[in-house]
């Protein structure tokens, strides 16, 4: 009954979405206030209908209703409650429903919170948002219905893939989807503005917070996914250049570029045509990501079961939305009024360089991800494009970006001098060099480039902070006075500083763990010890243990450094009852200077256990950096110019340089 | 320094093209240099893969072929037509089983032994290199497994 209700609610949502696509557009064309106004209740009810439908699916999971195909295939009555709940989106059908739910949530929030939007623009934005929604609702109802029944129902379900039964992975998809789908707002705004034929600073001010929110979710989602891969897959790696990871990285790069170019539109009314294109591209990359992951064209770590019908359906949606938007762009973009001028050395130019490099980086990832597919179709050869490709393309494109990054915020708008900006960065350059020398002297031998990588991270952190220090005049004034000055600065400035410094922290983590990781693979019997990076690890033995839906062999390792006892790490091999699948739980001790990572393997040939031990220096800085970046996004989002919204005159000197 | 709008735009476009050109060059170079081919044992033998060339070997782990030697493992990868012995030092992934699909990355040594430095058995226990699946389907030994999700 509940499943049928959910199905019915989805059909109603589709009807609402179609209404919301057609009627407000009609209203905008005829200048009919009430028709345009009707987009708002339509968006809200569409969201409520989908939410109710999602609740129905969740209910069938919670009560383990195995007469529903989706539940039978992906759940199990003995599964812990949390994973029954998160199992809703641990499969193709449910994850698509979540996708649409988040899409409608974003639509509803524009309807609710976009109070200062001109009605006509708002109606058009909601209409386009609803076109996306309607396409995917149609997809769900036609080829991916999560509410299909099964007769006769099985007594027990198949269970959720045990590697997915994990808290970080439970929240990873909602975050990532919120990021992917959040970019739909930028897309809808871009299309609406193209139809309206008007893009100005106000438009950028309305788009930017939505892009920022999407960017934050995307950053958080990618970081969570990589953290999960790090501790759950048992390889101790954090990024594998897997096609599905790339599918989330491409929209991230595009969204990052969009955030920066939208600033130029907002502050200087320039780069408008490019920004609109970027908004379309960002969401298109999200859609392509969805297509790549959901259609099964990639045999990936993440891809769900292959179903050609679904792939073709998504491909059609993809071509319609992206093709339509690009056609609209080709037709309408030339009519947009040209924007403000700027000199080759200026904040605008710096942001153009940022966009250029981010765009090329995204393109290199795009080619690396799709080339194997194209080649297989053309020649039948199967290849894999892995880390070596990206080290040769993505990394060299990011390096100049990171090097130039601290200079951008120090340049003034319109026209700037390079030399004064560089002079202000001497402290950052000096610190970075000193740390590079220190790193080269202290660290164990590694690639000669590694100390420079560390220096780059420091350059980013200190270079970003310089702006705050100077604006607060921490060097000249007493600390309390300077602090007072600094706290009066706009929050978006703090946001920018945090995001850039967070990137620096992340770079340091990535460089350190890539260059100086240590690894031991050895057979250990109980009582034996292994030494790694000043730590001693002694195997105290393994014993059986049983969890809620699995049995485990639980190996214990005592770690110590010198005379200091640092406690016990537990690494388990878990065997899950449904499906008889095994997972390995690594034992990890997170420390600021590096992680100890112990994985207990099979019984070794000569007795004992195969044990792999890693020391991953500074690896947690990667996720720490990501967290700081997200925090930066939050700070920027809470800036008063987004809350107040209406363009207004700002006090000179404060807001003008705030990102 | 009074450039016209047109000149400025031209400068912008030219510098953009320059960066694009460099990026494109990097991509081409990387694609010619750092990609890894994927072969089943029969294909690898048919192509006479030379010693030391890096490639990915995909197939099934032959039943009863897994041998442990200290921390080293040895097994046969087969596509039911040909098979190649593989050695690997380290821990095999959780989903590694005899009779299941596997992808190993590494190179052949002088004796025709495949020295793997990475072994992948994908999350999805139904995962199988498409070639192998096709080959097995042809031979009629393919069992349509229940389709179960991987991770999102």
**Cβ-Cβ contacts under 8 Å, B36 against chain A:** 383-386
Identify whether residues B14 and B84 lie together within a single domain.
no
In whole angstroms, give the CA distance from residue A501 to residue A469: 14
Domain count, chain B: 2
Task: Give mean pLDDT, residues A505-518.
Answer: 94
Classify residue A8 as exposed, middle or buried by CB count within 10 Å of its CB (0-12, 13-18, 19+).
middle
* Residue A579's pLDDT band (cuts 50, 70, 90): low
| CB within 8 Å: A393 and B26 | yes
**CA gap A90, A228 in Å, rounded:** 15
Element (H, E) at A506: helix A491-516
Across A177-186, A299-308, A330-339, B139-148, the highest mean pLDDT is recorded for A177-186
**C-alpha gyration radius of chain B:** 23
Q: Are residues B110 and B69 in the same domain?
A: yes
Q: Residue A537: phi, psi to the nearest 5?
A: -120, 120
CA proximity to A18, closest of A109, A136, A113, A106: A136
Identity of the highest mean pLDDT range in A79-83, A549-553, A558-562: A558-562
Helices H / strands E in chain A, number of each: 22, 10
Residues B24 and B51 in one domain: no
- All residues of chain A having their beta carbon less than 8 Å from the beta carbon of residue B54 are none
Domain match, B5 and B61 both: no
Give A436's contacts (C-beta < 8 A, 6+ positions apart). Answer: A451, A452, A454, A455, A458
Residue B151 located in a structural domain = no
Closest among A531, A532, A530, A557 to A542, alpha carbons compared: A557
Please report the pLDDT score of residue A152 as a whole number. 85
B82/B65 same-domain check: yes
Query: Is A521's CB within 8 Å of B89's CB?
Result: yes
- Same domain for B74 and B117, yes or no, is yes
- Close Cβ partners of B75 (under 8 Å, ≥ 6 residues apart): B61, B62, B65, B66, B67, B85, B86, B98
Work out the pLDDT band at A658, boundaries 50, 70, 90: very low
Lowest mean pLDDT among A241-250, A579-588, A625-634, A641-650: A641-650
Nearest CA in chain A to B66: A605
pLDDT single digits (tens) B71-122: 788 999 888 788 899 999 877 777 787 877 788 889 999 888 999 988 877 5
Residue B147 domain flag: no
B16 close to A (CB below 8 A): yes
pLDDT at A400: 94
Q: Are residues B72 and B103 in the same domain?
A: yes
Q: What are phi and psi of B86, to 5 degrees?
A: -125, 135
What average pLDDT does range A93-114 have in this prediction?
93
| Same-domain pairing of B67 and B9 | no
Contact residues, chain A, for B125 at CB < 8 Å: 579, 581
The tokens for A24 are 């407000």
Query: Are B68 and B87 in the same domain?
Result: yes
Is there a contact between A560 and A566 (Cβ–Cβ < 8 Å)? yes
Whether A535 has its CB under 8 Å from any CB of chain B: the answer is: no
The CA-based dihedral angle spanning residues B29, B32, B33, B34, taken in that order and rounded to the nearest 10 degrees: 100
Cβ neighbours of residue A492 closer than 8 Å, sequence gap 6 or more: A635, A636, A639, A641, A658, A659
Q: A178 to chain B, minimum CA–CA distance in Å?
A: 14
How many Cβ atoms sit within 10 Å of the Cβ of residue A142? 11
CA dist A173 and A170 (Å) reads: 7
* Predicted confidence (pLDDT) per residue in A307-342, tens digit: 667 778 888 898 999 999 999 999 998 888 777 778
For residues A489 and A474, give the distance between their C-alpha atoms in angstroms, rounded to a whole number. 13
Where exactly are the structural domains of chain A?
A: 1-165, 170-307+331-414, 415-516+621-657, 518-617
Please give the sequence-ordered ranges of beta strands (E in DSSP) within chain B, or none if there are none: 35-39, 54-61, 67-69, 72-78, 83-89, 101-108, 114-120
How far apart CA B102 and CA B117 sit, in angstroms, is 13
Domain match, B54 and B25 both: no
Rounded to a whole number of angstroms, the distance from the CA of B39 to the nearest CA of chain A is 7
Q: Is residue B150 part of a domain?
A: no
User: How many CB atoms sit inside 10 A of residue B144's CB?
Assistant: 7
pLDDT at residue A647 greater than cutoff 70 = no
CB contact under 8 A, B38 and A382: yes
In B, minimum Cα distance to A171 occurs at: B152
* E strand residue ranges, A365-454: 382-385
> Distance from first CA to last CA of chain B, Å, rounded?
54
Q: What is the mean pLDDT of residues A624-653?
A: 74
Handedness of CA A100, A278, A122, A211 (dihedral sign): positive
Tell me which chain B residue has its CA closest to the CA of residue A339: B5
> CA A575 to CA A550: how far, in whole Å?
5
Percentage above 70 pLDDT, chain A = 94
Q: Could you list the residue range(s) of the whole structural domain that residue B25 is in?
A: 1-32
Structure-token match 């992975």, residue found = A169
**Which residues does chain A have within 8 Å of residue B98's beta carbon, measured at their own beta carbons?**
none
Distances (CA, A) of B59 to A203, A205, A525, A628, B62: 55, 54, 33, 44, 9
| Range 289-348 of A in CB contact (< 8 A) with B | 293, 299-306, 338, 341-344
Whether residues B55 and B99 share a domain: the answer is yes
What pairing do the DSSP bridges indicate for beta strands A518-524 and A529-532?
A: unpaired
Contacts of B51 (CB under 8 A, 6+ apart): B107, B108, B109, B110
Residues of B in contact with A582 (CB under 8 A): 94-95
In a domain, B146, yes or no: no
Whose CA is closest to B106, among B91, B121, B86?
B86
Instruction: Flag whether pLDDT at B14 surpasses 70.
Output: yes
Task: Go through A549-584 and write b for each residue having 16 or more CB atoms within 10 A of its CB, e for each that does not.
Answer: bbebbbbbbebeeeeeebeebbbbbbbbbbeebbbb
* CATH code given to domain A1-165: 1.20.120
Report the mean per-residue pLDDT for chain A. 88
pLDDT at A300 over 50: no
Residue B119 lies in a domain: yes
B44 and B116 both lie in a single domain: yes
Q: Residue B59: which CATH number?
A: 2.40.50.140
Q: Supply the mean pLDDT for chain B.
A: 76
Q: Facing residues of B72 across strands? A: B69, B89
Is B144 within the bounds of a domain? no
DSSP track, A220-261 = HHHHHHHHHHHHHSSS--S----HHHHHHHHHHHHHHHHHHH
pTM: 0.90
Q: Are B36 and B105 in contact (CB under 8 A)?
A: yes
Q: Which residue in B1, B31, B148 is closest to A371 by CB distance?
A: B31
Tokens 């070596």 -> residue: A388
Residue B8 contacts A, CB cutoff 8 Å: yes
pLDDT in tens, A449-500: 899 999 999 999 999 999 888 888 787 788 888 888 888 888 889 999 999 9
> Which residues pair with residue A589 across a beta bridge?
A596
Give the CA distances from residue A19 to residues A11, A98, A101, A131, A555, in Å, rounded to whole numbers and listed in that order. 13, 21, 17, 10, 59
Q: Give the range among A174-178, B30-34, B142-146 with minimum mean pLDDT.
A: B142-146
Mean of pLDDT values over A36-53: 96
State the DSSP H helix or E strand holding residue A354, giving kind and residue range, or none if neither.
helix A347-379
């Amino acid at each position: 009954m509940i499943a049928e209700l959910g199905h019915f609610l989805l059909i109603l949502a589709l009807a609402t979405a179609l209404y919301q696509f057609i009627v407000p557009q009609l209203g905008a064309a005829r200048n009919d206030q009430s028709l345009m106004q009707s987009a708002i209740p339509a968006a809200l009810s569409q969201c409520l209908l989908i939410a109710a439908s999602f609740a129905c699916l969740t209910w069938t999971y919670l009560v383990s209703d195995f007469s529903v195909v989706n539940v039978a295939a992906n759940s199990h009555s003995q599964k812990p409650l949390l994973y029954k709940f998160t199992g809703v989106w641990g499969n193709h059908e449910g994850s698509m429903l979540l996708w649409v739910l988040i899409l409608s949530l974003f639509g509803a929030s524009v309807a609710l919170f976009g109070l200062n939007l001109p009605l006509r623009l708002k109606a058009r934005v909601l209409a386009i948002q609803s076109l996306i929604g309607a396409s995917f609702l149609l997809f769900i109802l036609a080829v991916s219905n999560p509410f299909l029944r099964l007769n006769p129902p099985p007594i027990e379900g198949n269970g959720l893939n045990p590697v997915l039964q994990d808290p970080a992975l439970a929240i990873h998809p909602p975050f990532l989807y919120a990021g992917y789908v959040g970019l739909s707002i930028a897309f809808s705004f871009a299309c609406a503005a193209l139809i309206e034929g008007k893009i100005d600073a106000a438009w950028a001010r309305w788009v930017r917070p939505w892009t920022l929110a999407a960017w934050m979710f995307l950053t958080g989602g990618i970081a969570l996914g990589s953290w999960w891969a790090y501790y759950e897959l048992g390889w101790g790696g954090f990024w594998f250049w897997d096609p599905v990871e790339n599918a989330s990285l491409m929209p991230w790069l595009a969204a990052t570029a969009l955030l920066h170019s939208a600033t130029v539109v907002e502050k200087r009314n320039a780069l408008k045509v490019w920004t609109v294109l970027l908004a379309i591209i960002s969401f298109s990359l999200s859609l392509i990501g969805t297509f790549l992951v959901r259609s099964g064209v990639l045999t990936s770590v993440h891809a769900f079961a292959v179903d050609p019908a679904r792939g073709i359906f998504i491909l059609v949606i993809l071509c319609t939305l992206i093709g339509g938007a690009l056609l609209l762009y080709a037709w309408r973009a030339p009519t947009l009024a040209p924007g403000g001028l700027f000199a080759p050395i200026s904040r605008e130019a710096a942001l153009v360089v940022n966009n250029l490099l981010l765009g090329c980086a995204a393109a290199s990832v795009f080619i690396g991800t799709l080339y194997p597919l194209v080649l297989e179709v053309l020649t039948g050869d199967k290849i894999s494009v892995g880390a070596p490709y990206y080290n040769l393309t993505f990394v060299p494109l990011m390096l100049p970006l990171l090097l130039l990054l601290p200079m951008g915020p120090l340049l003034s708008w319109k026209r700037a001098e390079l030399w004064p900006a560089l002079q202000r960065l001497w402290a950052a350059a000096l610190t970075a060099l000193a740390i590079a020398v220190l790193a080269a002297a202290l660290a164990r031998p590694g690639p000669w480039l590694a100390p420079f990588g560390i220096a780059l991270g420091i350059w980013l952190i200190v270079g970003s902070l310089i702006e705050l220090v100077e604006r607060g005049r921490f060097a000249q004034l007493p600390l309390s006075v300077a602090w007072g000055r600094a706290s009066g600065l706009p929050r978006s400035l703090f946001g920018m500083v945090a995001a850039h410094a967070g990137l620096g922290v992340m770079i340091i983590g990535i460089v350190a763990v890539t260059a100086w990781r240590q690894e031991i693979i050895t057979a250990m019997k109980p009582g034996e010890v292994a030494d790694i990076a000043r730590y001693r690890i002694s195997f105290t033995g393994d014993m059986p243990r049983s969890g809620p839906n699995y049995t485990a062999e639980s190996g214990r390792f005592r770690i110590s450094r010198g005379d200091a006892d640092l406690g016990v790490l537990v690494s388990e091999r878990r065997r899950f009852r449904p499906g008889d699948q095994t997972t390995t739980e690594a034992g990890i001790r997170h420390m600021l200077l590096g992680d100890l990572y112990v994985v207990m393997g099979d019984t070794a040939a000569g007795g004992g256990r195969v044990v792999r031990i890693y020391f991953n220096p500074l690896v947690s800085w990667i996720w720490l950096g990501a967290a700081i970046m997200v925090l930066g996004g939050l700070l920027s989002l809470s800036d008063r110019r987004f809350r107040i919204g209406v363009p207004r005159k700002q006090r000179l000197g404060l807001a003008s340089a705030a990102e | 320094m009074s450039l016209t709008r047109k000149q400025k735009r031209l400068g912008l476009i030219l510098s953009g093209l320059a960066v694009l050109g460099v990026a494109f060059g990097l991509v081409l170079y990387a694609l010619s240099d750092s990609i890894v081919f994927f072969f089943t044992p029969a294909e690898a033998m048919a192509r006479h893969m030379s010693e030391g060339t890096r490639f990915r070997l995909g197939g099934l782990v032959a039943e009863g072929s897994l041998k442990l030697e200290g921390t080293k493992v040895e097994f046969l990868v087969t596509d039911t037509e040909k098979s190649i012995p593989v050695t690997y030092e380290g821990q095999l992934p959780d989903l590694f089983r005899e009779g299941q699909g596997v992808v190993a990355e590494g190179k052949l040594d002088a004796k025709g032994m495949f020295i793997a430095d990475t072994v992948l058995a994908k999350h999805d226990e139904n995962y199988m290199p498409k070639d192998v699946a096709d080959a097995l389907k042809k031979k009629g030994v393919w069992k349509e497994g229940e389709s179960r999700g991987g991770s999102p």
